[in-house]
Amino acid sequence: MTKQKIQGEGDYEATRRFRKRTEEYINNNDVEKAAVRAAPTSAEEEEDMKAAEAAGKRRAKGEDPALQRRDAPAVEPSTRGKNDRH
């Protein structure tokens, strides 16, 4: 019997894939141009995008308070492996 992989929150392999793909995209693409291309092209599209954002925010728990504080320390990603002891 093979061991099933756990998917969802806490899935370290999925996190590694996401980070790798995100870094590759940022390093190999012009993110500013992509943002301009993603902007709405009509008033109707802008309204749809705002409605979608509002729908997502209704389900959200809120912004991370650290994002709002100007004096918030910069947080570095963890360099510990999953087998390191704390």
Angle at 82 between CA 77 and CA 83, to 5 degrees: 135
Domain that holds residue 22: 12-59
Note the pLDDT tens digit of each residue in 20-42. Answer: 999 999 999 999 999 999 999 99
* Contact status, residue 49 vs residue 40, Cβ threshold 8 Å: yes
Identity of the highest mean pLDDT range in 5-14, 39-48, 58-67, 72-81: 39-48
Residue 81 belongs to a domain: no
Residue 66 belongs to a domain: no
**53 φ, ψ to 5°?**
-65, -45
Residue 83 belongs to a domain: no
Residue 80 belongs to a domain: no
Residue 28 belongs to a domain: yes
Residue 37 belongs to a domain: yes
- Total number of domains in the chain: 1
26 class by beta-carbon count within 10 Å (0-12 exposed, 13-18 middle, 19+ buried): exposed
Tell me what pLDDT residue 84 has. Answer: 54
Longest CA pairwise span in the chain (Å): 55
